[in-house]
Amino acid sequence: MLKSSKATAWPSRNPNGSRTVPVRSGRGVRIGLTFIVAGLTGAAAADGDRPRSGYAVLGSRRPSESSDSRPPVRALITLCAIALVATALPAAAAPARVRLATLAPKGSSFHQAIQAMGEKWRHAPGGGVALTIFTDGSMGGEADMVRKMRIGQLQAAMLTASGLAEIDKSVTALQLMPLMFRNWEEVDYVREKLRPRLEQTMRDKGFVVLFWGDGGWVRWFSKQPLRFPEDLRKMKVFATVGGTETIDIMKGMGLSPVPLEVTDILPGLQTGLINAVPTPPVYANAAQLFNHAPYMLELDWVPLVGGAVIDVKTWNKLAPATQKSLQEAAEETGEKIRARSRKENDEAVEAMKKRGLKAQPVTPEIAAAWQKVAGEVYPIIRGKIVPADMFDEVQRLLNERRASAPKGKASGKTGESK
């Protein structure tokens, strides 16, 4: 509100329809500011109207007015300054949007870890990133997820090695080599050694690796007792739809794979469509598979390895500072997933045992029989499923690790974490 030295005065009407407000300057000199209530439109206020705006703006003069009737220079400068400041104020950057899909069950530790990562992404520099997560395979199998990333329906996914192999087959060296790894130390050692090469290969194929994770050791769960490979050959074994590499390995072992979606495992066990499932204990516990497949062979067949990726087009749209923040949060997430999943798998086995799971220990005789079968399928795997150079490099790195490992670790039981 504008005040004189005595009282507030409403503007007096000028001949041209505009109004003059009495204002005292710093020296007490009365200045007449002609302003239009309706803003920078040049239209005069109607008779009897009081000003509704908190801003005083100069009114346009009528065509009949003399060109000498000019508004005060100071007022013009003030208005220009206000306009410049208003246009220069940066608008709040809208967050980038990323849709991520995974087979992980809703509410699982994997899902919770991704949610926590998404919260950190939301506060990243440059407006942050809004992460939407699709769990339980709601976006289809892993091959579907990769296809949807390529066409832009998804921007990211958390995948197993089988899913990552849809992008580049080199990743299969971390998972599709039965009984190749003896413990988690060997898995970690080989992964870190291969990581720069794998990540560059994935980037060349259009994807940026956000983090690497794992979901525990795959073990055999069955409806009937299972000890030797001959027992498994009598059963109908679950295999993931689209998992041609795994199916080829199973056939090489003389097994009878039945391709199904992950969501069909439980119905398959209930109906007898399948009677054996290779899966980590944590999933068997979460999905209650052990109620229908109550036998578990304590043989760590392969590590369930995977990671999260984002398509490079989406990634390149982000500012470097945003990328750095996202990568740091993702790396931390991968570390938490690995540590938590390994612990949870051990806990899941104990929990299922208390509820009726019958665990079959692995004797030297049983271990030798399975190792023989694994060795027989290595020629099928090398060069056909796992690139030959990667297969050979994994073996070289394992020999290197075992030669340098402290006594006791180099010959540890498969899957034993020491």
**Tokens 């997430």 — which residue?**
333
Whole-angstrom distance, CA of residue 290 vs CA of residue 296: 8
Burial of residue 335, with CB atoms counted within 10 A of its CB: 0-12 exposed, 13-18 middle, 19 or more buried: middle
Q: pLDDT value at position 105? A: 87
What sections of 291-363 are H helices per DSSP? Answer: 312-316, 320-354
Contact call for residues 165 and 398 (beta carbons, < 8 A):
no
Q: Are strands 295-311 and 207-222 parallel, antiparallel or unpaired?
A: antiparallel
Burial of residue 357, with CB atoms counted within 10 A of its CB: 0-12 exposed, 13-18 middle, 19 or more buried: buried
Q: pLDDT value at position 76? A: 52
Q: pLDDT value at position 415? A: 39
Contact call for residues 104 and 135 (beta carbons, < 8 A):
yes
**Tokens 């410049």 — which residue?**
84
Q: pLDDT value at position 58? A: 32
Domains in the chain with CATH codes: 12-88 (no CATH), 96-404 (3.40.190.170)
Cβ neighbours of residue 70 under 8 Å, at least 6 residues apart?
Answer: none
Q: pLDDT value at position 72? A: 58
The helices-and-strands tally (H runs, E runs) of the chain is 13, 12
Reading the chain (418 residues) residue by residue, the pLDDT tens digits are 444 444 444 444 555 454 444 444 443 433 333 332 333 334 333 444 443 333 333 334 444 444 444 555 565 555 545 544 444 444 446 789 999 999 998 999 999 999 999 999 999 999 999 999 999 999 998 999 999 999 999 999 999 998 999 999 999 999 999 999 999 999 999 999 999 999 999 999 999 999 999 999 999 999 999 999 999 999 999 998 888 899 999 999 999 999 998 889 999 999 999 999 999 999 999 899 999 999 999 999 999 999 999 999 999 999 999 999 999 999 999 999 999 999 999 999 999 999 999 999 999 999 999 999 999 999 999 999 999 999 999 999 999 999 998 775 554 554 343 3
Output the pTM of the full model: 0.74
Q: pLDDT value at position 382? A: 98
What is the DSSP track for 195-220? HHHHHHHHHHTTEEEEEEEEEEEEEE
Contact call for residues 331 and 199 (beta carbons, < 8 A):
no
Q: pLDDT value at position 353? A: 98
- Residue among 247, 199, 248, 252 nearest 229 (CA): 252
